[in-house]
A and B are shown apart, each in its own frame.
Chain A
C-alpha cells in the first residue's frame, strides 16, 4: 500500500535522528576533551586562604605545568586533585564525575612524588607491581605490563635491586614506571626532577616529554623551575600566592605576560613605569643599544653602562638610565654582535613597539 504520509515521517525521523546523532557525537567530543575540571575550588588552612576560588579545565592528553615559587599553592593544588587534601569548597571532576566522595585509592590517576616515595623494603619489580597487585590484575597481565614498562624505562637489569641500591636518576625511573604501569588517565608529577643534578634533569625532561607524547596520558606537572616548564609543557599555569595568574602556552607566557608577576617570574624582563600608571615590560634581548648620537628617531632612553658580563652566547649589558629614577636596564646582546661596548660608555637604548608589553602595575 502506498502511503506518502508515512514515507515523509520516516524520512523526517531519519533526518532528525541523524541530527541528534551528530549532536551527541559533538557534545561527546567536547566532553572527551576535558579530562579534569576544577569547579570554583578553594582551600583554607587553619582559617587562612591558601588558594582563593578558581576554576580550571585540563584537556585530555595535555601536558599542563603548575609553575610558581615555593609556597604558591601548586603542590596543594596537585594534592587536592590526587585526593590527599580536600578542597574547602568546590568540586573536582574527572571525566565529568565528581571526586569529592572518591578516596585517593579509587581515583584513576597516579602520582610521581617528590623524592619518589619508593617502598624501601621492596625491589624495583615489587614496587612497580604494587599497584597492579592492589587492583588484583591477573598474574599473566601483571607480568606482561611489568616487562613492557621495564623496557620502557630501561630498568630490566635492575629489577631485583632495592631502591637504596639505585642512583637518583634510576629511582626516578622506577617512580615513573610504578605510576604508568597502571595506565592511569592522568599522571600527577610533583617536582619529579627536583632532586637531580642539572645535566640529568635536562635529559630526563626530554624523556618525560617524549613519554607523555607516546603514551597520550594527561600530565599535570608541578615545578618551580621555569626553564623546565617552558621546555616540556603544552600549557603553563603560573601561580602566585595561591592564585593562577595566567594559563597559556609557553610562548604566550613568555611573549605576552598578562601580569607583572608573570612578566618578572618567567625569564628576565625590564619593567618601565609609565606616567599613566601602567608598566612596560621589554625582554633584555629585544632592546637595542646605540651610540647616543646616531639614529635619533629610534632612541627611547639614554644611560651609562655600569657592567658588561660575557656569558658565551650572550653579552649582558647593565645600563643605568639618566632619568630621575636611575633605573637599571638589562640588555642581552648576541655575543656575535661586533660592537664592543665598554663600562662607563654613554649609550642610547630603543626597542620596537611590538616587543613591549603593557601591564597594569
Chain B
C-alpha cells in the first residue's frame, strides 16, 4: 500500500512523458515510412522512399556540416566552460552564487530575443562594425554575420551554461584533500590537475558534452537567425519540411536519422571515455 503511494509520485511525469514524448516519437517513426500526397497531406502507404532521398549527397553534406559544427561547439564549450567552472569553484561561497547566477542569467531572457541581439551586434550596420568604421580601423563593414563563424559563436553562446553547470557540480563535489594528496606526492599543479582533478571531474565533462552536443545537433534557431541562407543545418531542413515544404514523412525520416546518429555518437563517445579509462588503468 505504501509502495503504491510512493509510485503515485512518478505518475504525472510518466503520463506526461508517455503522452507527449514517447507517443509522438512513435508516430514520427511510423510517419517516416509513409508517403506524401500532392497537397502535402500524409498518404497512408508504406514506402522507403523518404530514407532513400536522404542518401542524396546534398543531405549527406548537410548532415556532415551539422556534425562538424556540433563537435566544434562541444569542444569550444569544454575549453571555455571548464576554466570558467574551475574559477567559480575556487571562489568564496558568496561570490560563487553571483557567478552562477550570471551563468544562468541568459536563460531568463527568451532565446530568440538573445539571438537577434547578436544580429544587432554583428550585422554590417551593427554595433561592432559601426565602432570600427567610425574609428577608421576598417574601410568597409566586416562580414561578421551569416557565416559558419557566427553560427559557431551563437551556438557556443547559447549552450555554454549546459557545459559550465555540470562541470562546476563535479568540481564542487571533489574532495580538496585529493588534490593536496597529489601535491604532497610531488605532483606540480599542472600534473595534479591532469592526473587527479580532470579524471575526477570527468563525469561533469561527459554530462556537459552530451547536453551540448545533442542540443547543438538539432539546433535550428541559431543557424536560422545568425547563419543566413548559406549555412543551413539539419535542424533547419527538418523545420522546413514540417513548416514550409509540408513534407511531414520526409521530415520525420530526417528526424529519425538525426536521432539515430546522435544516439550512435553518444554511445561512441561513452565507449571512447571507457577505453581511455582502461588505457589509463594499464599505464
B residues less than 8 Å from A179 (CB atoms): 184
Assembly CA distance A329 to B192 (angstroms)? 56
B73-81, B193-201, B262-270: which one contacts chain A? B193-201
Interface size for B (C-beta < 8 A) is 22
Q: Does A134 interact with chain B (Cβ within 8 Å)?
A: yes
A residues less than 8 Å from B184 (CB atoms): 82, 104-105, 110-111, 179
Q: Does B191 interact with chain A (Cβ within 8 Å)?
A: yes
Distance between B160 CB and nearest chain A CB, rounded to angstroms: 27
Q: Does A173 interact with chain B (Cβ within 8 Å)?
A: no
**Closest partner residue, chain B, to A134 (CB atom):** B186
Assembly CA distance A130 to B184 (angstroms)? 11
Contact between B178 and A105 (Cβ–Cβ < 8 Å)? no
B residues less than 8 Å from A106 (CB atoms): 186
Q: Does B139 interact with chain A (Cβ within 8 Å)?
A: no
Assembly CA distance A178 to B188 (angstroms)? 17
Assembly CA distance A83 to B181 (angstroms)? 12
Of residues 168 through 200 on chain B, the ones whose CB sits less than 8 Å from some CB of chain A are 175, 177-178, 180-189, 191-192, 195-196, 199-200
**Closest partner residue, chain B, to A110 (CB atom):** B184
A34-42, A117-125, A335-343, A350-358: which one contacts chain B? A117-125
Q: Does B281 interact with chain A (Cβ within 8 Å)?
A: yes
Assembly CA distance A130 to B283 (angstroms)? 11
Contact of A110 (CB < 8 Å), options: B178, B185, B192: B185
Contact of B177 (CB < 8 Å), options: A115, A123, A134, A182: A115
Interface size for A (C-beta < 8 A) is 26
Assembly CA distance A110 to B184 (angstroms)? 6
Assembly CA distance A121 to B199 (angstroms)? 7
Contact between A120 and B200 (Cβ–Cβ < 8 Å)? yes
Task: Given A119-B196, A120-B200, A123-B281, answer yes or no on A131-B178 (Cβ-Cβ < 8 Å).
Answer: no
Distance between A104 CB and nearest chain B CB, rounded to angstroms: 4
Given contacts A105-B187, A182-B186, 14 further A-B contacts (CB under 8 A): A84-B180, A105-B192, A113-B180, A114-B177, A115-B175, A115-B177, A119-B178, A121-B277, A130-B182, A131-B185, A134-B182, A134-B185, A134-B187, A178-B185
Chain A contacts to B: CB under 8 angstroms? 82-84, 103-106, 110-111, 113-115, 117-121, 123, 126, 130-131, 134-135, 178-179, 182
